[in-house]
Structure 1
Amino acid sequence: MNPVVVVHGGGASNITKDRKECVRQGMVKAATAGYKILAQGGSAVDAVEEAVTTLENDPEFNAGCGSVLNTNGDVEMDASIMDGKDLSVGAVSAVRCIANPIKLARLVMEKTPHCFLTDQGAAQFAAAMGVPQIPGEQLITEKNKKRLEKEKLEKGAHKSDCKKNLGTVGAVALDCKGNLAYATSTGGTVNKMVGRVGDTPCIGSGGYADNDIGAISTTGHGESILKVNLARLTLFHLEQGKTLEEAADLSLGYMKSRLKGLGGLILISKTGDWVVKWTSASMPWAAAKDGKLHSGIDLEETTITDLPCSLKTVF
């Protein structure tokens, strides 16, 4: 099986020309990091964790150190990960003072009998596992302080704009053994209520992976994604014999027509075919397979380049 990894940087609108290049490079870096693991014979789970960790460490994206702020001006992050081989899952929500929530989600998957830990329980588990705590201020950027101020002035507390709050990062991968995995991470929505949890940590909404079907990671308006179980809905269409493109269009179209919810997704089939789709203004993404790196941000825009020779191993 030829390995493949696809990453997304969340939905977006009005990306400036200067920022576009930074976002694109962030996507390329994450996809390359994930594919490097796959090219060396590593697992899909390792690949998606590494890709998402790379994005959590990039302040351009709404995850980890780039997370947006809640109504109190604090960072609360959500993340989840899934192994398609045995349907193992790990998720965390309302996480604070941790650089990489996706790593904590994986620890939940592998070191506990549970699927999902939240808030204080997640913090206690992180401490027990030796996960380093960092001052919350280190996760707060000046850009996100200004975003919160602007949102409060424009909308008032606790209100959400389906067209604006589309930031999430994620990855899906297929390894050389035919195993699938997904990982998704987010800081949530700007000016959200304290304790708000979106789709990202909810298995079947923020993502899903099953070796018998495919792997998917979603992004967009979290409340809409939750209401339609976007990830599992898309895979259901795939199970019913729809193509990747048809499955993606059907599920995203349903969410938009039923709830006016905008979003996007990255999807890999069990045979290694992949697709990226979105209904938001744009969605940064990148994919690596067969020695080629594909990337884009806007509709009808795809750049294809060669991967470094060291990453062109084909199994």
Structure 2
Amino acid sequence: MMKAVLVVHGGAWAIPDTLAQASVAGVKAAAQAGSVILKSGGCALDAVEVAVRVMEDNPVFDAGHGAVLNTNGEVELDAIIMEGKTLGAGAVSSVKNIANPVSLARAVMEKTEHVMLTSKGANLFAESIGVSTVSAQALVTEQERKEWQNYKKYSVGVKELFNSQCGHDTVGAVALDEFGNVACATSTGGIRNKMVGRVGDSPFIGSGGYADNKIGAVSCTGHGESILKVTLARLILYHMEQGKSAWEAADCSLHYMAERVQGGGGAIVVSPTGDWSVTFTTERMAWAAFKDQRLLYGLNPKEMFEETLDC
């Protein structure tokens, strides 16, 4: 039996002090929820889904109930989930009125012969299997509406917005269960004021996430177009295949992305042996990890705090 590991992130970006405490509390809650699954002998796939759902339900994060608005003032959501035993995967993009797109992505994996459904098709699939929908306004916070209105007064590109304290970003989780199976999940509302129909890296296998029992699992966060160009998740696992540790693989891949396409971001990684890492090139990334009955977490570079969880 392996020692179970779970790592979650709440997005790599310039998190302002006003959101710092809530962001850390949110990732800790997600890690604790996922750890309950793993401590009871549950599977990695269930653990990452539960952890991401917790963050989708938390309005502090850009996923589900905290998603940012596109140019039309609408929420469009993307998500992926993948398990490493069979390379089973499911993804959705540009979906509306779905509170937990990560669970819809899992339904795509388990109930269809496809990997990704998008926009109207994804919503029609959700309706066909009885997934409950919410009103468009239910996913939009008052603060996001104000930020979006304020943004419309300025001419700033989405990449500049991502690098400012006005941006938000993706949530994700990776896990290793006691049976040696790995899984990943990633979910996002994208970048504020994105074009209608814009899809970033999050729902794409090999970019926003990847899971393979032979190598490990990754969930990425950051500037989506940059991550897509270097297929960041699979690049990290490639370096692990070449013998690098989880941290070395993520670090060199993120720096390659910065040098090659001038993109910032972060990644959480777990290997089949339980080696795990949290790496980011942005100002901050809220993260938390569960292993050996311990909860580790941080926000700033080279920062780590520790709590002991009840057995």
**How far 1:34 sits from its partner (Å)?**
0.5
State the TM-score, normalizing by the size of structure 2: 0.97
In structure 1, the partner of 2:273 is: 271
Matches within 5 A, 1:203-242: 203-242=205-244
CA-atom RMSD in angstroms: 1.1
Conserved in 1, the CA contact under 8 Å of 2:13 and 2:222? no
**How far 1:148 sits from its partner (Å)?**
1.3
Q: What CA distance in whole angstroms lies between the structure 2 residues aligned with 1:252 and 1:46?
A: 28
In structure 2, the partner of 1:2 is: 3
Conserved in 2, the CA contact under 8 Å of 1:169 and 1:219? yes
Q: What CA distance in whole angstroms lies between the structure 2 residues aligned with 1:101 and 1:20?
A: 25
Q: What CA distance in whole angstroms lies between the structure 1 residues aligned with 2:258 and 2:31?
A: 28
Q: What CA distance in whole angstroms lies between the structure 1 residues aligned with 2:143 and 2:308?
A: 34
| 1:144 maps onto 2:140 in alignment | no
Q: What CA distance in whole angstroms lies between the structure 2 residues aligned with 1:42 and 1:117?
A: 27
In structure 2, the partner of 1:12 is: 13
Q: What CA distance in whole angstroms lies between the structure 2 residues aligned with 1:174 and 1:243?
A: 16
Conserved in 2, the CA contact under 8 Å of 1:168 and 1:188? yes
Q: What CA distance in whole angstroms lies between the structure 2 residues aligned with 1:140 and 1:166?
A: 14
In structure 2, the partner of 1:292 is: 294
Matches within 5 A, 1:77-116: 77-116=77-116
Cα 1:148–1:292, aligned 2, differ >3 Å: closer, same or farther? same
Q: What CA distance in whole angstroms lies between the structure 1 residues aligned with 2:158 and 2:284?
A: 22
In structure 1, the partner of 2:32 is: 32
Q: What CA distance in whole angstroms lies between the structure 1 residues aligned with 2:151 and 2:159?
A: 9
Q: What CA distance in whole angstroms lies between the structure 2 residues aligned with 1:214 and 1:36?
A: 21
In structure 2, the partner of 1:188 is: 190
Q: What CA distance in whole angstroms lies between the structure 1 residues aligned with 2:25 and 2:141?
A: 20
Q: What CA distance in whole angstroms lies between the structure 1 residues aligned with 2:66 and 2:158?
A: 21
Deviation per CA, 1:235-288: give whole Å up to 9, x if none.
Answer: 000001112221111110010001110000000011011000000010000000
Conserved in 1, the CA contact under 8 Å of 2:30 and 2:55? yes
- The structure 1 segments of at least 4 consecutive aligned residues displaced by more than 3 Å after TM superposition are none
Q: Which amino acid aligns with 1:173?
A: A
**How far 1:159 sits from its partner (Å)?**
4.2
Q: Which amino acid aligns with 2:209?
A: G
Q: What CA distance in whole angstroms lies between the structure 1 residues aligned with 2:159 and 2:13?
A: 15
| 1:251 maps onto 2:250 in alignment | no
State the TM-score, normalizing by the size of structure 1: 0.95
In structure 2, the partner of 1:312 is: none
Cα 1:159–1:179, aligned 2, differ >3 Å: closer, same or farther? closer
Conserved in 1, the CA contact under 8 Å of 2:74 and 2:136? yes
Conserved in 1, the CA contact under 8 Å of 2:12 and 2:284? yes
Unaligned runs of 5+ residues in structure 2 are: none
Deviation per CA, 1:289-313: give whole Å up to 9, x if none.
Answer: 001000000012211010122xxxx
Conserved in 2, the CA contact under 8 Å of 1:38 and 1:47? yes
| 1:160 maps onto 2:162 in alignment | no
In structure 1, the partner of 2:283 is: 281
| 1:261 maps onto 2:260 in alignment | no
SS at match of 1:147: helix
Matches within 5 A, 1:128-143: 128-143=128-143
Q: What CA distance in whole angstroms lies between the structure 2 residues aligned with 1:303 and 1:160?
A: 31
In structure 2, the partner of 1:313 is: none
Percent identical: 54
Q: How many residues get paired?
A: 307
**How far 1:14 sits from its partner (Å)?**
4.5
**How far 1:146 sits from its partner (Å)?**
1.8
